[in-house]
Structures are given as C-alpha cells and as structure tokens.
Amino acid sequence: MSTFLVEADTPGLTVGRHEDKMGLRGSSTVPLAFEECRIPANALLGKEGQGFSVAMTALDGGRIGIASQALGIGLAALREATSYARERKTFGKPIGMHQGIGFQLADTDTELEAARLLILRAALLKEAKKPFTQEASMAKVYATEAANRACYRSLQVHGGYGYTKEYAIERLSRDVRVTTIYEGTSEIQRLVIARGLLQAG
C-alpha cells in the first residue's frame, strides 16, 4: 500500500454529494472517488509500500486534534449547564444547589480536566518527537467519551429546554457524537492501547 498526493483537478477524481449529517453542519463531508487517475511518480508521499505507516502516523497526530475538539465541545456543554443551573430555580433554590444536579457538574468538570491532561501529555510527547501512539489513543478515547457524557448531562440539566433548538446544548449534543467515531472509533483506540500494553516487555 502506498500513499499519493492527488491534485484536485486530476481527471478521474470525482467529488460526491455532501453527506446530510446529524451534526457538524458547518463543515462539508464528501466522498471522493479515484478512477484510472494518472499521476506523476513524484506524487508519491513517503516511500513506496509504506502507505499504511504514513496513514497511521497522520492519524496519531489527528487523534490529538479530535480529542481537543471534543474537549472544547465538552467545556462549552459544561459552561451552558453551569449557567442554566444558576438561573433555573425549582423548590425554592437554583437547580445547581440540588445535589443531584451539582454532582453532575462536578463529575463533568473533573472528567474534562483529566481529558485536558491526557491531551497535553500526548501533545508534549509529539512536540518532543517521542513515540506517542498509545498516549494519543488514550487522550482520544477518554476525551471524546467524557465530552459525550458532558453533553448528555448538560442536556439533562436543561430539562425540556435542552431538547429544543433554543439552547446551544442541542447543537453541541449533535456535534459531539461523531468524535467517538472519526479519526478511529473508540473501539479502535482501545485496540491500539491494548495492543501496546500486550506488546510491551
């Protein structure tokens, strides 16, 4: 398997229709088809036969990016939940003062902080040009799942309003969902982490 850089105007390269996605509506996602494309030898990216390794290396870095995207969405969800929990009153006090809601905010804050540290560790290793495959997968699986939990809890804190388009949490809940899927699913991250663990001395 080899990787190539293909110019967008290459005959045989076609861009399919935009996918109608549940979230990330501001970003387009399209299928690409390559049929009988003729490309010059210097379009080879990396060495011949090393394509899988090139792709995996790109994914390792990308996973830190998606983990960071998830952390951002999770933090926005926590901000929305905290603000709503201060504002909305039931049974004579702001809902955040009911332990059942306050604890959800506390768990979310803690998990997102843990996600931030895992992301920073992977990014520091990458910057230092040290191996970071395992660390990127750990950051990705943890941050994206923590962010999904953050959105789930935040929508719950909003009550019925959370299920309407009036509050930002509705969009955040749709946007966050894909983060455990693209750049390698959660299952694939766990596979990478387990393989590293089993192969280590």
Ligand X SMILES: Cc1cc2nc3c(=O)[nH]c(=O)nc-3n(C[C@H](O)[C@H](O)[C@H](O)COP(=O)(O)OP(=O)(O)OC[C@H]3O[C@@H](n4cnc5c(N)ncnc54)[C@H](O)[C@@H]3O)c2cc1C
Which positions are annotated as active-site residues? 183
Which segment (21-29, 36-44, 128-136, 157-165) binds ligand X by CB under 6 A?
21-29
The DSSP bridge partners found for residue 33 are 14
Closer residue to ligand X in complex, CB, 28/164: 28
Binding to ligand X, residues 66-105 (CB under 6 A): none
Instruction: Report if residue 21 touches ligand X, rule: CB under 6 A.
Output: yes
Residues binding ligand X: what is the number (CB under 6 A)?
Answer: 11
Helices 169-177 and 51-87 pack at an angle, to 10 degrees, of 160
Instruction: Report if residue 187 touches ligand X, rule: CB under 6 A.
Output: yes
Name the nearest CA neighbour of 175 among 25, 18, 65, 19: 25
Contacts of 80 (CB under 8 A, 6+ apart): 154, 158, 167, 168, 169, 172
Pair 151, 100: CB distance under 8 Å = no
CA 38 – CA 177 distance, rounded (Å)? 38
> Residue 79 Cβ, how far from ligand X at the closest point, in Å?
24
The DSSP bridge partners found for residue 98 are none
> Residue 81 Cβ, how far from ligand X at the closest point, in Å?
25
Helices 51-87 and 133-157 pack at an angle, to 10 degrees, of 30
- Which of 29, 57, 83, 164 contacts ligand X by CB under 6 A? 29
**Backbone φ and ψ of 50, nearest 5°:** -105, 15
Instruction: Report if residue 184 touches ligand X, rule: CB under 6 A.
Output: yes
Which segment (104-112, 118-126, 129-137, 176-184) binds ligand X by CB under 6 A?
176-184
Closer residue to ligand X in complex, CB, 117/191: 191
The 129-168 contact track toward ligand X, x by CB under 6 A, reads ----------------------------------------
Residues in the chain: 201
CA 155 – CA 138 distance, rounded (Å)? 26
Closer residue to ligand X in complex, CB, 24/81: 24
Closer residue to ligand X in complex, CB, 154/189: 189
- Contact positions vs ligand X (CB under 6 A): 21, 24, 29, 178, 181-182, 184-185, 187-188, 191
